[in-house]
Amino acid sequence: MSVIYKRVALIGLGLIAGSMAHALRRGGLTDNIVGTARSAETRDIAREINLCDRVVDTAAEAVEGADLVVLAVPVGAMAAVAKEIAPHLKQGATVTDVGSVKQAVIDAVGPHIPEGVHFVPAHPMAGTEHSGPRSGFAELFENRWCLLVPVDGGDSDAVERLKSLWQAMGANVETMEPEHHDLVCAVTSHAPHLIAYTMVGVADDLRRVTDYEVVKFSAAGFRDFTRIAASDPTMWRDVFLNNKEATLEILGRFTEELFALQRAIRTGDGDLLHDYFTHTRAIRRGIIDAGQDTDAPDFGRGPKR
Ligand code: NAP
């Protein structure tokens, strides 16, 4: 593959930016990667593991001369980073982000983007429960979706170029309106995470009564919830604070369905339960057929990273 952006600046050096660094290098998609992170500790680790060609101390310094700037920090930190880098961006450069919420990021970052710089919001729908500079790997985006959410009046060439980058990193790309993106992600990712956090919290309460049994017998289903509920607390706090409306809408519907199932259990309505679970099993089959998961029985426990 050939170079798509001569110089790439990664702002934030966690799971997503780290995986991008590995994928960019693997594909020969850039000549030069400059990275930075908030803490000296993360920057030191990035230098130690040679994650980027150069690690610098500030975001302002990192974006100097960059053709592509990737904001890979928690959603709540995007505005401050955009403000800091704005005066240092090269004319003709593209600024993108990888935030899990799109409308709030567009509102936070958009006003800081100077004339002559393109802003193309994006969201790679791939992740693990791990975070930090050591957690990235080149294959993270393979056969996963990356949603591009172009802004009104944005430059279509800049969108196409970013699309080609994500495809070269292995992702399938689709474009979407920000509001629709936020609703889709509330259903597929945000509400499920909140439910997992809640379930693990409930089990933790119970553990005080049943002692070690919750952990001992966790393979019965609980274990998969704990994996999701181990996701980064800062990232997820920011997701919920910034995708309030869509998440609350989905949680409202979830609560209604839960009540319906609760009633079916109480009244002994086995037909309803059976029909419901038959339907949900078919949904799982659809996800496997779409190549978004495997049918392997050890679901969720791939090779150790
Ligand atoms: P991560 O591994 O926790 O890394 C976050 C990076 O942002 C770290 O380098 C951190 O620096 C930096 N950072 C944290 N707070 C900051 C602040 N207030 N100001 C400046 N920098 C700050 O996170 P990640 O999983 O890569 O997530 C990054 C973005 O990708 C988030 O917007 C998230 O919503 C999105 N995303 C995540 C996933 C996922 O599953 N993880 C999937 C898709 C999209 P220090 O290390 O120095 O603290």
* φ, ψ of residue 163 in degrees (nearest 5): -60, -45
Q: Which residues pair with 145 in a beta bridge?
A: 125, 172
Stated pTM of the model: 0.93
Ligand 1, residue 80: give the atom nearest the CA.
19
Domains of the chain: 7-176 (3.40.50.720), 180-268 (1.10.3660.10)
For residues 198 and 155, the answer to whether their CB atoms sit within 8 Å is no
For residues 43 and 18, the answer to whether their CB atoms sit within 8 Å is no
Tell whether ligand 1 has an atom less than 6 A from the beta carbon of residue 100: yes
Over the stretch 99-114, which tens digit does the pLDDT of each residue have? 999 999 999 999 999 9
Residue 206 or 268, more confident: 268
Instruction: Read off the pLDDT of each residue in 281-292 and give the average, rounded to a whole number.
Output: 88
Residue nearest to atom 44 of ligand 1 (CA): 100
Instruction: Read off the pLDDT of each residue in 126-133 and give the average, rounded to a whole number.
Output: 94
CA of 218 to the centre of ligand 1 (A): 29
Residue nearest to atom 10 of ligand 1 (CA): 12
Tell whether ligand 1 has an atom less than 6 A from the beta carbon of residue 98: yes
Distance CA 264, CA 260 (A): 6
Ligand 1, residue 99: give the atom nearest the CA.
32
Name the E strands within 106-233.
118-125, 145-148, 172-175
Residue 215 or 24, more confident: 24
Tokens of 82: 């955009």
Helix (H) or strand (E) holding 286: helix 270-289
CA of 115 to the centre of ligand 1 (A): 27
Nearest to 247 by CA among 304, 200, 199, 188: 188
Over the stretch 16-65, which tens digit does the pLDDT of each residue have? 999 999 999 999 999 999 999 999 999 999 999 999 999 999 999 999 99
**For 50, left (φ over 0), alpha (ψ -120 to 50), or beta?**
left
Tell whether ligand 1 has an atom less than 6 A from the beta carbon of residue 97: no
**118-125 and 145-148 beta bridge pairing:** antiparallel
Instruction: Read off the pLDDT of each residue in 117-131 and give the average, rounded to a whole number.
Output: 96
Tell whether ligand 1 has an atom less than 6 A from the beta carbon of residue 38: yes
> What spatial distance separates the first Cα and last Cα of the chain, rounded to whole Å?
27
Per-residue pLDDT, 303: 47
